[in-house]
Amino acid sequence: MLVMLREFDPDRDCAGAEAVDRACEVGSNGKMSLFTDLLGDPVCRIRHSPAFLMLVAETVGPAPEIVGVVRGCVKTVATTTSVETLAVYAKVGYILGLRVSPYHRRLGIGMKLVRGMEQWFTEKGAEYAYVATEKDNEASVRLFTRGCRYSKFRTPAILVNPVFAHPAPVPSGAAVISISATDAETLYRRRFSSVEFFPRDIDAVLRNPLSLGTFLAIPKSWRYGGIETFLADPPESWAVLSVWNCKDVFRLEIRGAGRFRKGVAWASRAADRALPWLRIPSVPDLFHPFGVFFLYGVGGEGPGAAMMVKALCARAHNMARVAGGVGVVATEVASCDPLLGGIPHWRRLSMAEDLWCVRRLGEDDGGDGDWTKSPPRTSIFVDPREI
């Protein structure tokens, strides 16, 4: 079969690209499946990145058909150095949304799409390419690690918590304040610019309309006097995070659940609404389209930082509860992050280890400055624009 690659054309490719995405939905084999509605915009997950591209693989012939798609973006991020407080930036390409129709697999189409995206990365000056995939997805892991020579690189944890009918309580010892995008940029650049994958254009992230705000948790007894005063003499323990509105980008839905499971979920939610003071951990309604609030830029310092993060997560949960249509609040942090214990999540909805694979582009491969060979750190910055 002859297949050609070309750039996605929104005027004629939406239906074909959507058909490939639907055919590749997680679990779409008759069991419960996670369905993603991109709200009519196949490039929505990369549209807010500095530079982005979507490629389609199309059969050649009298009735051409789209049989594969891939998305990618290029950005400049912080990499690992021997000095943890030193920020060294590199241009990287991120591959996501690689899909090949189930009827056209094992024909080299996936490899062709990856190589086509890597070529674009190189043209844009990227030094590295990376991809996130489920570690249990053997076909995807094999394609990237064996076929495309990527290395297993990082294993961050994806933490997902339902949005309940009752408000989440904020720990009594913490005060949560909202800070401006300007102050948030100052804080992130001063304290987190050397964290792996920290985006150099953090200002664009914070000022994006989808970013709903940045929040700082401090001890209740500590008086906040502005960002400069805070940075000059911070409290012993504090934490910060920002909230991203994925609800206006895509919706998720779990399909294939039985009546009993749906009935139990409905009953638990009804009880939570009727008796909110009991704070019943009701089963969320994930069987209809729901949105996601994503927490990014999660960080903090001090012995009580995890408790401060818990206060921030409560604030984000309550924002989602009021917004309506948001089923879960999610975040992604390094699997060894000391703040992980302060992030509420349901284990059944979360993933203890996501898998990020990376490859150095070009012929200069394997030197002392090769980021792909660096050990993991305790923190990682997950860019919300490519969730």
| Band of pLDDT at residue 264, cut at 50, 70 and 90 | low
- Other CB atoms within 10 A of residue 17 CB: 23
Q: Give the helix, strand, coil percentages of the chain, each rounded to 5.
A: 30, 30, 40
Least confident of 270-279, 313-322, 327-336: 270-279
Q: Which of 54, 52, 43 is nearest to 75 (CA)?
A: 52
Is the pLDDT assigned to residue 365 strictly greater than 60?
no
Mean pLDDT, to the nearest integer, of 376-385? Answer: 95
Helix (H, G, I), strand (E, B) or coil at 260: helix
Please classify residue 247 by burial: count the beta carbons closer than 10 Å to its beta carbon, then call 0-12 exposed, 13-18 middle and 19+ buried. Answer: buried
| Band of pLDDT at residue 348, cut at 50, 70 and 90 | confident
Mean pLDDT, to the nearest integer, of 216-233? Answer: 96
Amino acid present at 142: R
Higher per-residue pLDDT: 76 or 255:
76
Average pLDDT, the chain: 91
pLDDT at 270: 75
Find tokens 């996670």 and name the residue. 34
DSSP 79-142: E--SSTT--EEEEEEEEEEEEE-GGG-SSSHHHHHHHHHHHHHHHTT-SEEEEEEETT-HHHHH
Q: How do 157-162 and 211-219 pair as beta strands?
A: unpaired
Percent of the chain with pLDDT over 70: 93
Is the pLDDT assigned to residue 367 strictly greater than 60?
no
Helix ranges (H only) for the chain are: 14-23, 109-123, 138-142, 181-192, 202-206, 227-232, 259-274, 305-323
pLDDT at 136: 87
pLDDT tens for 114-172 read 999 999 999 999 999 999 998 888 999 999 999 999 999 999 999 999 999 889 999 99
Mean pLDDT, to the nearest integer, of 365-386? Answer: 84
Cβ pair 239, 304 in contact under 8 A: no
pLDDT at 85: 59
pLDDT tens for 5-45 read 999 999 999 999 999 998 887 654 556 678 899 999 999 99
pLDDT at 28: 46
Is the pLDDT assigned to residue 277 strictly greater than 90?
no
Residue 147 and residue 30: Cα distance in Å, rounded?
A: 30
pLDDT tens for 188-208 read 999 999 999 999 999 999 999
Residue 95 and residue 92: Cα distance in Å, rounded?
A: 10
